[in-house]
Amino acid sequence: MEVPILKQGAVLIATFQAALSDADLNQLRMGLVQQVVRFRSRAVIVDVTAMDVMDSFASRTLREIAHMIRLRGAETVIVGIQPEVAFAMVQLGLTLEGVATALDLEEGLAYLNEKFKTTN
Amino acid sequence: MSAGEIRVAINSDQDIVSARQRGRQMATEIGFSTGDATLIATAISELARNIVSYAVKGQITLKMVNGLNRQGISVIATDDGPGIPDIRQAMRDGFSTSGSLGLGLPGVRRLMDEFEITSQPGRGTIVAVKKWRQ
């Protein structure tokens, strides 16, 4: 299952689907970093609203995406972690330390606009 | 509502997704809340991931169970892999995880109500967990 990546100005928006396999996540990680390079993006928003489960692999992949993108000099914001998914992540002992998160896409964009003082 | 059991063969990362989807579906049929169904699906995802990471193949068996005045779901993960040499160590928080790959067994125990593990080096591992409907 492909994850659509949308280009909105200097921001790339990746929208996760419910049933992503490890292979899909790995592919997305590479795809996102390549597109950040290609479009000289300043930020990436990963929208996980539709994700039903965030297990250890998914969390680790998200952290890796954020770190790789930071090495490119761009920002990552994870948006839309559902309350029950957040609860399960905490029980499982998973964290997204050092990765920016926001309530939803709108808040994520607002956070980035504030951070970069740019307009879309 | 069927009292049947569902077996999901776990051979690849795609099977992890199927197992947790079937588990969520069964949990919903039993009447678990969305929140609890998410906890169950997450536990199944981790158990299936351990099979793929450490044993390569195995299976997840999902079953509705009846307790005294309550219903629940039983999830049993079995494999014929190398087994876990030191279960006590594997059950310690932060032994292999802290968000890395697999063996998040202490986390799985927190997600569920009952947790049992049997492992024989060289013969395989069985992890049996249950969650009861509130």
Q: b/e string for A81-105 if b means 16 or more Cβ within 10 A?
A: bbebbebbbebbbbebeebbbbeeb
Regarding predicted confidence, which is higher, B98 or A103? A103
Query: How confident is the prediction along chain A (120 residues), in pLDDT tens digits per residue?
Result: 678 899 999 999 999 887 889 999 999 999 999 999 999 999 999 999 999 999 989 999 999 999 999 999 999 999 999 999 999 999 988 889 889 999 999 999 999 999 887 544
Q: What is the model's pLDDT at position A117?
A: 79
- CA distance, residue B91 to nearest chain A CA (Å): 13
Q: With H, G, I as helix, E, B as strand and everything else as coil, classify residue A99.
A: coil
pLDDT above 50 for B100: no
- The answer to pTM > 0.95 is no
Which superfamily is assigned to A5-116 in CATH? Answer: STAS domain (3.30.750.24)
So where are chain A's domains?
A: 5-116
Q: What percent of chain B shows pLDDT beyond 70?
A: 90
Q: Which residues of B touch A99 (CB under 8 A)?
A: none
Q: Find all residues with CB under 8 Å of A38, minimum gap 6, and list them.
A: none
The kind and range of the H/E element at B47 are helix B34-50
Q: What is the model's pLDDT at position B96?
A: 55
Q: From residue B27, give the alpha-carbon distance in Å to each of B18, B41, B44, B73.
A: 14, 9, 11, 7
pLDDT above 90 for B20: yes
pLDDT tier for residue B3 given thresholds of 50, 70 and 90: low
**What average pLDDT is seen over chain B?**
90
Report the alpha-carbon distance of residue B85 to residue B100 in Å, rounded: 20
> Domain B5-132 maps to which CATH number in 3.20.20.100, 1.10.287.3510, 3.30.565.10, 3.40.50.300?
3.30.565.10
Report the alpha-carbon distance of residue B101 to residue B50 in Å, rounded: 8
- The residue assigned the tokens 């079953």 is B63
The pLDDT tens digits of the residues spanning B26-53 come to 999 999 999 999 999 999 999 999 999 8
Provide mean pLDDT across the span B89-115.
76
So where are chain B's domains?
A: 5-132
Contact across the interface for B111 and A92, Cβ inside 8 Å: yes
Q: Quick one: how far is CA A23 from the chain centroid?
A: 16
Q: Which residues of B touch A81 (CB under 8 A)?
A: none
- Please tell me if residue A112 touches chain B, with a CB cutoff of 8 Å: no
